[in-house]
Amino acid sequence: MNSLFTPLSWNDTGFILTGILNTIYISVVAISIGTFLGVIVGFARVESNKYTNMLIGSFLDILRSVPLIIQLILFTTYIGVMGYPLNPFIAGSIVLSLYTMAFMSEVFRGGFESVHQSMRTASRSLGLTYWQTVRYIRLPIGIKVVFPSWLGVALSVIKDSALVSVIGYMELLRTSEQLISRTQQPLEILIGVGIFYFIISYPLSLYGKYVERQMTV
């Protein structure tokens, strides 16, 4: 036994730490790009006519109704077949960002729609141009309103980032999986992984609830 499997030791800390950092890294990238694109697409959906809206909507619909894991596999296979293989981090970021965008755009669309027409009319009558209204009135108000939902989507992206392991990105769950196959101590390692996700996600979800309460009162 001993010759085959070596138990968990302090030397593995670095390896686990890489996994943790990679998880945080890809989540931050996907949430940032996804939010940025989500604001743009959400705004475009509010402003565009019925047909453009339907076109954008049906594309987002596909991103939302196909499992992330299938999207990841399809994308990496497709770019591989086309002759432009990307490394797992970039491929994973692209898919995860687009997936995030699909959810974020819905969140922000709701926010922009909540800015009342009379407010736009009021700001236009004060002499603001269209883009000034967008820049100083509609974007700030619309984005602020949806903060709790934004946080909810961001948290689910952190959890979904675990799936990028299927295309070979060394995030937390994949490093733990490799440690498990070496040490044969699945329970200890997995509980540690669970605690990590929990201590990131739980305080943020509490904060989201707190902000939501502050807003409604």
Partner 1 sequence: MEYEYHWSIVFDKMPELLSAAFVTLHVSILSMLLGIIIAVFLALGKMSELKILNYLSGIWIEIARNTPALFQIYMGYFGLGALGIHLSPYVAVLSALVFINSGYLAETFRGGFQSIAKTQYSASKSLGMTKFQVYRYIILPQMFRKIHHPMTNQFVWAILMSSLGILVGMGELSGETQRLQSLSFRTLEFFTVAAVMYYIITKFVLITADQISKRLFKGDI
Chain residues binding partner 1 by CB under 8 A are 62, 65-71, 73-74, 77-78, 81-83, 155, 159-160, 162-163, 165-166, 173, 177, 180, 185-187, 190-191, 193-194, 197-198, 201-202, 205
| CA distances for 98 relative to 31, 105, 208, 215, angstroms | 10, 10, 23, 29
CA 104, 106, 107, 112 torsion-angle sign: positive
CB of 66 to partner 1, least distance (A): 5
Q: Which is nearer to partner 1, 46 or 180 (CB)?
A: 180
CB of residue 136 to partner 1, shortest distance in Å: 34
Smallest separation (angstroms) from partner 1 to the CB of 116: 22
Q: Are 178 and 171 in contact (CB under 8 A)?
A: no
Question: In sequence order, which residues have a C-beta less than 8 Å from that of residue 44 and are 6 or more positions away?
Answer: 52, 56
Radius of gyration of the chain (CA): 21
137 vs 179 by CB, closer to partner 1: 179
For partner 1, the closer of residues 14 and 67 by Cβ is 67
Do 147 and 173 touch, CB atoms closer than 8 A?
Answer: no
Q: What is the dihedral of CA 47, 48, 54, 55, to 10 degrees?
A: -120
User: In this complex, which beta carbon is closest to partner 1, that of residue 97 or of residue 165?
Assistant: 165
Q: Closer CB to partner 1, residue 4 or residue 81?
A: 81
- The closest alpha carbon to 151, from 107, 213, 112, belongs to 107
